[in-house]
Structure formats: structure tokens, C-alpha cells
Structure 1
């Protein structure tokens, strides 16, 4: 700690956020001293703010600072676009800083305050994402004031970021529901630290360990907590792994969601928001089917809703940096010296940063209506190959020279282009920026019930139906019969070299998964 206190800290950005960070550092007196602000504003350069000099412009000053071995830079310009952050980062790298941190944009958006505890090490997300829209969350979260809010999958990437932002919503209680104790305890401890540092309001944070596949337990928890609002993020979501475990994904994602919806209708939950995905559009994987069925279940529950209840889903594409996304994979491959693996040169995806996606989900939860389907505007798709090259460069290497990029072919359940909507859904703009509304495509009630009844004995043991329990081949047969896109996909891929044939437990017939 003594050695740490000798650090010189340079704050990039002498505006409101930068000044708040400087005050935080000065007050704590354990993180080093603020040596200078760096800024491009000509009216500030050459002045002092509370005794700290303002130097600039950034591009001229940052590369020539004589950094010590412990000196750090903190980028505190929440409104800066990725292109500007990239330029600043490159100049700071030339300056030889031991560590470069950044204040994410959401910390300014949420409550108009910035705290040192909210800074983190800069990573590729900050230079790859688009410029986030400014959402005054402190205003848009008013619908949660005094409410009891539950996040399922609270330890995951989306769930944990929702929890961070919800600290400023004025909720009475924040329930963190999840199956994995480590991930839940991590976000619980982080929220307590944030609260102790003055971030957000003093909501009571309650961790809950449980399994949403357990129908009676879910009913008990929803009733016992008297929860008002549920953000349902929990899901198995690794596409290739779920192709290997198709029964598990249907059991968890479909029946777990059904359990939660049934309990919510019964207990009078006022708002239920399902986090959905582009994989649910014309699904070609078991995971995609599971999310598509979850959407249909939400629309069905909306018809059962009582006065004052709203059930809706919000669909979006990939989020940068989430668990299961390519970013952590690429970073680990680069750390190991490569190669970085890309499935196909033409593969592309829609991307959004986790904070922006969560801000929009929270806003949609406030303005959304019962039985409506919403879609986040994801902008233009990005080629995975281009992203791989940018991340390699961010890491200080040259693609193809220092780190090899290897094309390995698409895996089971993947396609080169992921649509965000079906033509029939006809997305339309709303009065809220980046939130679109879709025309509902509901599933016939009888067909949905029949499908669930066929899938249930495969996922849950039933006396007299032992031969069906965990029978993955029977599950795939049922899904292929129910959904044309999945059936066509399996037919198209069954002869591909990278596809694997799994022996049926029945008559020895082969089926491509």
C-alpha cells in the first residue's frame, strides 16, 4: 500500500466527471496523487483546478510524459465515442503508463456522478463499440422506485450489469437470483462495495440461490419475496455446447421460463421482462428454439395477465464481452500466443456493449406494454474477422505476423448471418431511441401445449415413460417436426465434414446434431 501511494495519476478529461474522480482520489489518499489533468479544451489548458494543472492537447502531451513504473492514467470522458477513446489509448500507450483505466459511460448516465470505484482497466470493448446513446436512467428508472425487483441469472454478464444500474433505481429490495453460488456472491459483494462508496441508493440487496427448473421452489420464492418486477436473464446460452446437451437447454430455458411465468401470473408480479436473442429468429439451433419458445410463453402469459400486470420480451443481438461471446475467447487465444480462431471469413454479428443493452432493457421495461415485443436497434453488423484483427492490434500485435488467424469452419448450430427479426414481425420505431416494436407472431395455444406435453417427459422423469427420459434423439425429432427452419438446417448440415453423427438410443439410426 505504501508503494501504491507513490503513484502519479493522470486524469484524461478535466470536465465534471474527471473533477469528481480527482476529488475522490484526494479524499481517500490511498491511491496516489493526481499529477495533472489532460484535456483538449483550449480554455482549460494552462489553468489549474483545485491546484492540479491542466495540460494539453492530449495527443501532444500524453506520449511525452515521463512516467514512473507505477504511474496510471484514468480516462474520464464518458461521452467520448470509441474512435476518440482509441486515439487517446494509443497516445497513452506511447507514454508508457503502467496502467490505463477508464470510467465507463454508464456511470455518468445513471446518476450524474462519477466514483473511482466505477473505473476499470480499459479493454477492446471501449474501442470496438459504437457511440452509446445517452439515456437518463435516473429518470427512466422511476418506475422501480420503492419496488421489489428480481434479476434471474444475476451473476451473468447481462444480469450483473442490470444489477449495477438498478442500484440507482430507488428499488426497495434487489433480489439476485441464480444457480451458481460463486457468480451470485461476486455480484453481491460488488454491489455492497459500490453502495459503501456512495454509488446508487441504499436498496437492500438479497442474494438467492436456486434453480428455476424447480417449479415449486420458483413458486415459493416469487410468492415469498412479493416481488413486483422481474428481469429474466437466466438461460443456458453457449450454442455449440447446447447442441451437445439439447435436453438440458430445453429443460432450463423453456420449462424454467414457464415456471417463472406461471408463478408471476399467480403472484401478481406487475412487470415481467424476458431477455431474448436474435438466435430465436428462424432458429437453427436447439438454443435458438428454446429462446423462441420462451418468447411465445411470454406472449401466452400476457393473455392471462390481470389488471396492472405486464409481460413482455426485449430481443437483441450479441453483446460485447458477455460470457460465451467471442471477445473473452479471442483475448485468451492472444494471451496464449495464438492462433485466433474465426469460424468463417464472412461470418458477421450485430454487437452492442453490455451497459448500453442493459440501459435500453431497463428503459423498455418502464415504457413497455403488456403483450408487446420489443427489439433493440443494433446498428450495422460487424464481421468477426475484422473484430479479430482489431483485438489483436489492441493487444499490441500485428495480425498474421505476430498472431495467426485461423479459419476453422462453422460449428453446429451456427450460421454466418443472424437476422434480428422475421419479415412478418415488421419492426417499427417507437418514440424511444433505439427501441423498436415488433408485430407479435403468436403460437397456436393448442400446438404450444401439445409441444410442451411432448417435451416434458423427456426433460423430467415420469412413471411409465422411462424410455423418453433424457432421450435426446426423441427431443430432436420433436423439434424438427415442429419447426421447419431447424429441420432444414439439420438436413443441410448433416453431410458437412465438421458435423458429428450421434447414435440413436433406439434402432441405431444416425441423426446429425
Structure 2
């Protein structure tokens, strides 16, 4: 089609150039020369248009690059045609030659540019006109925060995708020089403090943040402002996440709770980590779980000679192995389907592979489920940890790193008490073994299996209600990569017997998380999606603590890792306790499990959470939380 159009247009442009030059009174001799030039000008034009790929572009998405291609093609075509018109002439008389005047060629260049460019950009102009004529009620009004290069590129990308039905009402930018100015007919409406008013005035439904270089404080402030608008909030990843600096629609993602928490990136001492992982056999128990799998991803970066992924559930472990083989094709990985409860199977694995480092992440972690199934917490957490720790000792493992939890501090549930006993196990083993045993204690992990965030998202997707156990309940949170990286870093610091405590930042109210997630979905809490309080579950605390009240923390060389002074735990006590736990499991008496646990873990207080206990727990937790915060401040941060 363009071949035909171009042939017609170039001939018409040349003819009208003559007509305009000679004021509609062209001499016959020039008409004859024009006729002689038709075939050459068509061939020359088609040739250069093809060189500059004017017949292979999709002109609906044409931009400045395509326009420049037209200019270059027409310019070169005219230069060649000018040479033709000067040296290939038509002899009318024996002594007289005719050729096109230079002004004809100038007019011809202008008319060619207008006609070629006009026809090619017509599809884009019509598409833009259709978008403008679309009924406003079918469009989603959006506001772009950030009028820099990324924001402008995003605007252009959105304009290419009319199927999104996005109507960009304007930009927001703190640069006063840009405010009030137009960028491709889109106005910069104000700064961050104007976002709320702009959203009300223009009925904005979605806000897209496109400031790749902003720091964490700026990011949190802008997001907190946007949260109060009831608009759906989206973000473009940092520029380092965008290949070649390009932006496309697929890279715009929903804002996550992680963005709102705004935690700083972890800085790792890579040399120390590499020293105990590189070219070593590393075993990760519970390797298919949310924490275990991320540990494997982080460990893979440090080139172990073998990475052993041990898990009882085959699907997750297998999928992780496929992922690691794709990301690290030279890494040797092997999936071991086994249960840490079975000592003989553990001995078989340790005897075959002789792991140099063990990361023990296999455990039951759901508080309410373990309250209903306390025997399983004993089997998996306590006996499973004992089995892996024993094999590490017997088969000469260099370092054993166990994942613990803040629920092990002054536990009020069987899960937390079992993890506290696991900490006692590793401290007892450390005294008798050449293996360096350590535990790493941290709080809740955002997005891990069974955490509140995925549950809340599902509840919101179904229209609510979002269920929260108590209006005052709060938790410490960190991201899965952050927790895994700090675990590996703590492992590099180990000398044996330590309980490392990770800095979890400030505690976050669960109900605030719920409200934030509802707002990020473009809905209004308690109006579009209800929040219901269901009451504390058995064994659940209002406030988690990260350290024992009677034990101080000391700082380490890493500002986010602290260490708790080891307790004096005797190995004979551990062995006797394991036998007693096995006996009570054989008896099948559930109540006796709780009784034995209370004797073995003196800080464990069983809480059933009826109304009276909830009120007592509220008062107790307030006191413990305040004392714990003071202890951390005095004993850790000042050091």
C-alpha cells in the first residue's frame, strides 16, 4: 500500500513544486522534463525509503526515530534527484537545455516531507483522536508521580496501549520548575503535597509512582500520602531493575507491604560468607519452604560445591531445583526427600554427603495448629532438631545454623516452647562437639507460607471480611530475602553457642497491615472491605519479644545482628528430656505434653486466651514489650 501511495505522492509533490514555483503557469518544456523524471524519481524514492525501513515500521507506534528516518530518506532522495536533474537533461533545441530550478527542488523536499510524514503518522493521529473521543466513564483516571525521564517514558508507553483505557490526568513532581508546565500535552499539576487534592479534583482512580532514584524515606512519605486517597497504588521498579532503562507496561507492579515498610537493603560481608560456603557441601533442611528456599537461592550465589535441598514435600523442592539449575547451570544441586524425624535416614544422608555446613530450617511453625497438635511440634521441631544436630556432631559438620523465632522468647504456646528447647539443644551440643552450633532468631517474615499477608490478600479479593485476632496485636516483620541474608551472615560470625538476634525494626500493628493492604487495592477499609476481630487464638501473644528479659544482648560487627549470651545447658539434661518427650508421645496423653514442656522450658507459660487471659496478656505484654525495648536500647544499640 505504501509503495503505491509513495509513488503517487512523490509524483504529485514534484508536479505541485513546479506549479508553485511558476505561479501555476508552467512552460511546456518543464512539463516534458517532468514527464521524463517520473520513473527516476519514483525509483530513487522507493530505494531510499526501503533503505531506511519505511516499509517495515508499525506506524501506529511511530515516534521521533521514525520521523527522522523519513527526513533522512527524503533528503537523500532529493540529493540524488537533484544530481539527476542537473546532469540528465532534456534537449529541446540544439543549443538549449532545460533542468529544474533549485527552488523547485526545495519545494519538492518540503512537500515530500509533509506528504510522506502525514500519511505515515495518520494512523497514530487517528488512534490518539479515538482515545480522546472515548467516553470518560470508560476511562480510568490515573496520576503519575514523577515527571522525569521515567515518568515521561511511562506516559508514552501508556498512550500506546489504548486497550488499558487509561486517562492520564497529569503529573506530580516536587521540582517547582516543572510545576504548571506541559509535557506532551499533559500538565504537571503540583508536588507531593498536592496529591490528595488532585485526586479529589480529577477523580483519580490509580496512582503510579515512577521515581526510580528516590530514597526510602521519600518513598515511604509519598506512599503514606497516596494511601490517604483511596486510589489504587502502583509502582515502577527501581531503574536497576529495568533492562537497558526501558519501561513497559508489564514492569508496573502493585505496591507491596514491603514497599510501605521501607526497610533498608542488607549489606553483607561477602568475603566472610564466601569463606565458609564456597566449594563446600551445604545442606538445607526444610529447603522447599519459604525461608529454606530463599536460603538456597542466597547460598547458590556463593558457589558451594554441592547444595543439598532436604524436604519431606517433594513438589516445592523439585521446583526450586529446576529454578536453581536455570539460574546457576554449573551449580550441583540435589533434592533429598526425607523427614528430619527419622534418625536413620538422617545418618544415611550425613554419611553419604558429609555436609560442611547445615542450615536447619525444617520445622512446624503455625501456632494455632501446633496448639491442637502438640505431639507434632515435639516430633518435628524438637526430635527433628536433635536428630540433625546429633548427625552434625557424629559426621564432623563444621557449622550448624538453626532458624529460630521470636516466639521462643517467654513462650506462651507449644510451638514457641519447642523452638526454645531447640535453642537449648544446640547450646548443649556446642559444649561437647567440634561442630559450631548457633541459632538465629527473628520474627515474622512477609509473604512466607501461612503469613498474614497472603491470607489478607485472598480475603480482600473475595470482598472481605479481613479477619484480625485483636485490635492491639502487633508483630515484627522482615522480608524473606532480608531474613535469609542475615541468617547466612550470622552463620559467618559464628564461633559456637550463640543465639543471634536479628534487628527487626519497629513492630507493626496487624490491623494497620490489613488497612494498608485494603487501601493499596483501591478500596476503603470498613466501607468496601470490613475488618472483623476474632479474638486471640490459643497460645497467641499480643506482643512478641526478641530477647529473654533476664539476658542482655551485645552488638556485633553487623549493625542488624545482635548476640545473646549463651546459657549453661547440660547435654545430660537434653538427652534425658528427649527420652521423656518420646515416652510422653508414646503414651498419647496430650495434656502431659504441655506439662512436660512447662518443666523443660521454665519460661513457658501456657495461655488458653479466654477473655480473662486476653486482658492479662495485654497488660503483661505491654510490660514485657517495654522492658524488652529498653534492654535492646541499653545493651545493644549503645554498644
TM-score tier after normalising by the smaller chain length: 0.7 to 0.9
Q: Decide whether aligned partners of structure 1 residues 58 and 212 sit closer, same or farther in structure 2, where only a CA change above 3 A counts.
A: farther
SS of 2:535's partner is: coil
SS of 1:141's partner is: helix
Are 1:250 and 2:383 matched, yes or no? no
Are 1:154 and 2:316 matched, yes or no? no
**CA-CA distance at 1:254 after TM superposition:** 0.4
> Which residue, out of 511, 527, 536, partners 1:410?
536
Q: Decide whether the 8 Å contact of 1:14 with 1:39 is kept in 2.
A: no
**CA-CA distance at 1:212 after TM superposition:** 0.7
Q: Decide whether aligned partners of structure 1 residues 269 and 247 sit closer, same or farther in structure 2, where only a CA change above 3 A counts.
A: same
**CA-CA distance at 1:123 after TM superposition:** 4.9
Distance in 2 separating the partners of 1:175 and 1:262: 18
**CA-CA distance at 1:256 after TM superposition:** 0.4
> Which residue, out of 455, 460, 467, partners 1:341?
467
> Which residue, out of 414, 418, 424, partners 1:286?
414
Which residue of the partner structure matches residue 380 of structure 1?
506
After superposition, where does 1:384-395 map in structure 2 within 5 Å? 384-395=510-521
Distance in 2 separating the partners of 1:89 and 1:454: 53
Which residue of the partner structure matches residue 262 of structure 2?
130
Distance in 2 separating the partners of 1:114 and 1:215: 53
Q: Decide whether the 8 Å contact of 1:86 with 1:127 is kept in 2.
A: no
Which residue of the partner structure matches residue 273 of structure 2?
141
Q: Decide whether aligned partners of structure 1 residues 275 and 122 sit closer, same or farther in structure 2, where only a CA change above 3 A counts.
A: farther
Distance in 1 separating the partners of 2:505 and 2:423: 23
Distance in 2 separating the partners of 1:325 and 1:206: 28
**CA-CA distance at 1:132 after TM superposition:** 2.1
Which residue of the partner structure matches residue 181 of structure 2?
none
Q: Which has the larger radius of gyration?
A: 2
Q: Decide whether aligned partners of structure 1 residues 89 and 243 sit closer, same or farther in structure 2, where only a CA change above 3 A counts.
A: same
SS of 2:310's partner is: strand
After superposition, where does 1:40-51 map in structure 2 within 5 Å? none
Distance in 2 separating the partners of 1:407 and 1:453: 41
Deviations 1:286-345 (A, max 9, x none): 101110011011111111222xx3110111111111112111111111111111111111
Q: Decide whether the 8 Å contact of 2:234 with 2:252 is kept in 1.
A: no
Q: Decide whether aligned partners of structure 1 residues 170 and 74 sit closer, same or farther in structure 2, where only a CA change above 3 A counts.
A: farther
Q: Which has the higher helix share?
A: 2
Distance in 1 separating the partners of 2:324 and 2:466: 34
Q: Decide whether aligned partners of structure 1 residues 223 and 407 sit closer, same or farther in structure 2, where only a CA change above 3 A counts.
A: same
Deviations 1:253-298 (A, max 9, x none): 0000100000001111111100100111111111011100110111
Structure 1, unpaired ranges of 5+: 1-5, 19-37, 46-55, 65-72, 197-201, 462-467, 499-513
Are 1:81 and 2:222 matched, yes or no? no
Which residue of the partner structure matches residue 507 of structure 1?
none
Q: Decide whether aligned partners of structure 1 residues 497 and 229 sit closer, same or farther in structure 2, where only a CA change above 3 A counts.
A: closer
Which residue of the partner structure matches residue 446 of structure 2?
320
Q: Decide whether aligned partners of structure 1 residues 397 and 180 sit closer, same or farther in structure 2, where only a CA change above 3 A counts.
A: same
SS of 1:448's partner is: helix
Distance in 2 separating the partners of 1:413 and 1:223: 39
Distance in 2 separating the partners of 1:257 and 1:401: 47
Deviations 1:3-54 (A, max 9, x none): xxx9x9x9x9999xx9xxxxxxxxxxxxxxxxxxx99999xx9xxxxxxxxx
Distance in 2 separating the partners of 1:100 and 1:220: 49
Are 1:213 and 2:331 matched, yes or no? no
Structure 2, unpaired ranges of 5+: 1-60, 64-143, 151-170, 179-187, 200-207, 616-639
Q: Decide whether aligned partners of structure 1 residues 485 and 493 sit closer, same or farther in structure 2, where only a CA change above 3 A counts.
A: farther
Which residue of the partner structure matches residue 58 of structure 2?
none
Which residue of the partner structure matches residue 131 of structure 2?
none
Which residue of the partner structure matches residue 472 of structure 1?
590
Are 1:489 and 2:598 matched, yes or no? no
**CA-CA distance at 1:442 after TM superposition:** 3.5
> Which residue, out of 532, 552, 564, partners 1:438?
564
Q: Decide whether aligned partners of structure 1 residues 303 and 203 sit closer, same or farther in structure 2, where only a CA change above 3 A counts.
A: same
SS of 2:607's partner is: helix
Distance in 2 separating the partners of 1:165 and 1:14: 34
Distance in 2 separating the partners of 1:389 and 1:137: 37
Distance in 2 separating the partners of 1:255 and 1:57: 63
Are 1:238 and 2:366 matched, yes or no? yes
**CA-CA distance at 1:87 after TM superposition:** 3.9
Q: Decide whether the 8 Å contact of 1:82 with 1:129 is kept in 2.
A: no
Q: Decide whether aligned partners of structure 1 residues 216 and 41 sit closer, same or farther in structure 2, where only a CA change above 3 A counts.
A: farther
**CA-CA distance at 1:453 after TM superposition:** 1.5
> Which residue, out of 276, 280, 283, partners 2:404?
276
Q: Decide whether aligned partners of structure 1 residues 220 and 120 sit closer, same or farther in structure 2, where only a CA change above 3 A counts.
A: farther
Q: Decide whether the 8 Å contact of 2:232 with 2:521 is kept in 1.
A: no
> Which residue, out of 328, 331, 351, partners 1:223?
351
Distance in 2 separating the partners of 1:339 and 1:358: 32
Q: Decide whether the 8 Å contact of 1:80 with 1:131 is kept in 2.
A: no
Are 1:451 and 2:577 matched, yes or no? yes
**CA-CA distance at 1:486 after TM superposition:** 3.5
Q: Decide whether aligned partners of structure 1 residues 432 and 262 sit closer, same or farther in structure 2, where only a CA change above 3 A counts.
A: same
**CA-CA distance at 1:194 after TM superposition:** 2.3
SS of 1:425's partner is: coil
Q: Decide whether the 8 Å contact of 2:410 with 2:605 is kept in 1.
A: no
Q: Decide whether the 8 Å contact of 2:268 with 2:485 is kept in 1.
A: no
> Which residue, out of 338, 353, 367, partners 2:493?
367
SS of 1:260's partner is: helix
Are 1:265 and 2:265 matched, yes or no? no
Which residue of the partner structure matches residue 22 of structure 2?
none
Q: Decide whether the 8 Å contact of 2:257 with 2:513 is kept in 1.
A: no
Deviations 1:324-371 (A, max 9, x none): 211111111111111111111111111111111111111111122111
Which residue of the partner structure matches residue 298 of structure 1?
426
